[in-house]
Structure 1
Amino acid sequence: MISRSRKEAIRVVLADDHSILRAGMSSMLADNKDFKVVAEASNGKEAIEAVVKFKPDLLILDISMPLMNGTEAIRQAKRRCRKTKVLIMTMHRGAEYVRMAMQGGADGYILKDDAWEELATAIRHVLKGNIYLSPSISNKVVSGFLDGSASVIGILGKLTPRERQTLQLIAEGMKNREMAEFMSVSVKTVEKHRSNLMRKLDLHNSASLTAFAIENGVVSG
């Protein structure tokens, strides 16, 4: 059971090119009153259209999708609806897939053969703003199997959700006042997030923050 502070159900978009898997996932989620599947998608393009239309709390997405690959779908979902969390659920265990997903902006990565309890745990973590990796692969990530990018994921994982959002908005060219309006916070709060980013990343101006964000897949260059 997923703990939910507000009364409405978690709104989910399911995206997978295998209709049988989508049907099974939709049935499992429908059996839990905490969830409402608002749309299903069979390719990356449909997934983005559903995210734009329904603005779900969560997009569950396969990394390998027709028409638009999962990595690009992650980036577009984050760009079009920043509040939507993206959880990758796939059969791919390879380092390159995990790396592409996490650098693309995914909030979590689990495997299709993980148990239902693992999916529930992953959803709970990503909705709280945390990064979640299936235990089946996370040990490899920690040991640095992502060709040197594990340290980057570790750094990004130390940022708060607001700090990650601020980093993305800086890289997209927003000024402090624009960010404050977009995030519904004060300019002073945005300045604090910016200061924390520079301290945690050991970077000292907007140009270096933008370069870091592009290089590490927070935004596309």
Structure 2
Amino acid sequence: MSNVLIIESSARQQDSFSRQLTRQFISQWQAAHPADRVTVRDLARNPVPHLDADLLGGWMKPEAQRSAQENASLQRSNELTDEVLAADVLVLAAPMYNFAIPSTLKAWLDHVLRAGVTFKYTETGPQGLLTGKQAYVLTARGGLYAGSTSDHQEPYLRQVMAFIGIHDVTFIHAEGLNLGGDFQEKGLNQAKARLAAIA
């Protein structure tokens, strides 16, 4: 049995294209792997605070020196990190906002990229500690950005995943969703077909 962790980050709910992709992913995955456990964390419904002094204090101070706020921030970070550590498969649903990922997803990443937990520093540089995991990134984009210099999603997320040791990363882009004509239908159908092929 494997653990699958889904991270939703779209600010929209019913009208979200990235959520359509995650719903299809979950349905297909559960049909193919009925014994697997699927956990969904919705960063729109339950946003994670941005990195602040309390979280840094929780990470860096000895327990006896932490304030109540720092302990609470550390506990939240531990909960999020424990979910990632327990996951065999990580799915990031990431609509493109202003050429990049939603700030809610960035805040989540800031909680789980932790020295000594998900990566470590060595004499030869950083080393990821989450080896052996598989990741899927499902994006929804208003325009056509894949492979262009305007795409700041895929390069960033590939680097972040590699930084913590996840190198098996599959990107599925639903593009052209706001271009009008048949772009939306074509872009969504292409993404869904790719999803069906990998399931």
Question: How does the TM-score come out when normalised to structure 1?
Answer: 0.38
Question: How does the TM-score come out when normalised to structure 2?
Answer: 0.41
| Higher RCO (Cα < 8 Å, 6 or more apart) | 2
